[in-house]
Chains A and B, each alone.
Chain A
Amino acid sequence: MAICNPIVISGENHLNVVEPLVYWQLNGNTNLDVMVQPNSQVTLVLDLNACRSVQFHAMVQPDSILDVALVSMKDQSIDQHYRITLQNGATTNIRSCFLGNAKKTMKMEIIHHGLSTVSTMEHYGLINTANDFKIEAIGTIEKEADNTQCRQALRALTFSDHDHVTMVPSLYIDNYNCSASHSTSIGAMSPKQLYYLQSRGLTMESITLLLAKGYITPVLELIPEEELKTQLREEIEKVVIDACLTKLQ
């Protein structure tokens, strides 16, 4: 079942996803319409490193699960729009890790349309330039969506006072028989934190690696295939260390 080579996708695509794990490398400007079959579980790993813009619409049909891991680590500007609709009994877990080294914007909306739907959205950003980095996370619970759970967590680590990041979590709730939460944290590692880690023998390089792990691991945990997970971890850690080391020093 191992799918470690990405399927390269660009342009307009209408896809019925039946594979349990798909690794897509998106190129250029990509429009994706995804239909997840009822009673199925699908994990999409989207490599956005070569992508300039993405429009992603997914319909998660009844009693199915859609997990999405998004990775954007290269210094490529990107504009992203995601809209995921959950039908009765559907679940989605979205996790992304971004290196904020170019202008990157994302608007992600999860629409709880059916009964007993569940969503979690976690976005992790390592910000190392003054370029705009903006994430807008929206959870919409429609009137019909009884017994819904909706969670959002946004985290960004900056490396200097000049880095700029905007993260906006929002919830629109029309049915009050639900459980919903959102959180955001943005901040830099303080000199005291660096000193503490160094006082245990860690070098700047190992500190950077540790920080990167903290932001990357939750995203990789979504991927059920060890070979792909290891491959992505190595690629991402190398990019993060190269990009962040000079900022920490």
Chain B
Amino acid sequence: MSTLEIKDLSVSVNDKPILSNLSLTVNSGEIHALMGPNGNGKSTLLSTIMGDPDYTVTHGSIMLDGKDVLSMSVDQRSKAGIFLAMQYPIEIPGVTNSDFLKEAINARRESPIRLFEFYRLMEGAIHDLKMKPDLAHRFLNQGFSGGEKKRNEIVQMKLLKPSIAMLDETDSGLDVDALKLVADAILDLHQTAPMGMLVVSHYKRFYDYLHPSHVHVLINGSIILSGEKDLIERIDSEGYDWIYRQYGIDPSNNGKTSSGLLGTCATKGAFNGNL
């Protein structure tokens, strides 16, 4: 059982504030959908949790099972159980997938994994994600299509078995078959070893597969609205304008009035314009 607890988090890039007093708690077994218009801080939140050096935390805390995440280096965060499937996985020429993954697995073990066991696990993950069998011997993400890169992120997630997994637009670049394949692999892992998940996507179809337990809308660096799955339905059909209107948000600046919490009924109320 793991808990990621974010409190009053403010983050800036090159002195420009991106996140402002954001709070969120993710427990094992929960799947949190994070939605919001482009450029409002969703990826910043995930990257900050992972420890991307481009982002500066100016206020607040991130704790994983009571331990201060912000004081950890990036590799320590990973070994503590945090995983980020990146929006744009990086190409590393000269480093093969198998060498990389073996090193990553060994980084969180006391004794090195046996080669036979490693290849059995890797081949299983490659098979599940329907990657080409030569994946192990190819350089990490080099020459991969967009979809292959995204699937390779999930191969890594399956092998590293994080306690908190963050997916940053993993569904973008995937065709409809690959999307289901990836979602099935994520759900399979989630059912075998329940993780806390924080999933960024713009699309209902991906969330339909994942069945998130919580839904949040992040605008202008703050979580404006939280609710359940029907919030995704409404955003999918109506966009974000109704949220701007109801919460008095000017999407062109950082001004906002208040944040709200919507359960299913409250969301239905919002549908009827009663908020």
Contact = CB atoms under 8 A, between A and B. Distances in A.
Interface stretch (B90-98, B124-132, B198-206, B250-258): B90-98
Contacts of B99: 210, 213-214
A114 to B, nearest CB: 34
B252 to A, nearest CB: 29
Nearest to A198: B74
Contacts of A203: 75, 107
A101 B264 CA distance: 65
**Chain B interface, DSSP helix/strand/loop, else mixed:** mixed
A209 B94 contact: no
Interface string B38-50: 0000000000001
Interface in A176-221: 185, 190-193, 195-203, 206, 209-211, 213-215
A155 B94 CA distance: 9
B53 A195 contact: yes
A50 to B, nearest CB: 27
A196 B139 CA distance: 14
Contacts, number: 73
A210 B95 contact: yes
A201 B79 contact: yes
A150 interface: no
A213 B97 CA distance: 12
A157 interface: yes
Contact of B78 (A199, A213, A214): A199
A191 to B, nearest CB: 7
Interface in A201-245: 201-203, 206, 209-211, 213-215
Interface residues of B, number: 30
Contacts of B89: 196
A196 B107 contact: no
Given A198-B51, A211-B94, A214-B95, 20 more contacts: A190-B90, A191-B53, A195-B51, A195-B53, A195-B90, A196-B86, A198-B73, A198-B75, A199-B50, A199-B75, A199-B77, A199-B78, A200-B78, A201-B78, A202-B100, A202-B103, A206-B103, A210-B100, A214-B99, A214-B139
Interface string A7-23: 00000000000000000
B188 interface: no
Given A191-B53, A210-B99, A213-B99, A198 B94 contact: no
Contacts of B160: 200-201
B7 interface: no
A74 B94 CA distance: 22
Given A195-B52, A199-B84, A201-B78, A214 B107 contact: no
9 contacts: A195-B74, A196-B92, A197-B92, A197-B95, A198-B75, A199-B50, A201-B104, A201-B107, A213-B95
B222 interface: no
B226 interface: no
Interface string B97-123: 001100110011000000000000000
Contacts of A199: 50-51, 74-75, 77-78, 83-84, 86
Nearest to A157: B94
A245 to B, nearest CB: 14
A201 B90 CA distance: 15
A185 to B, nearest CB: 7
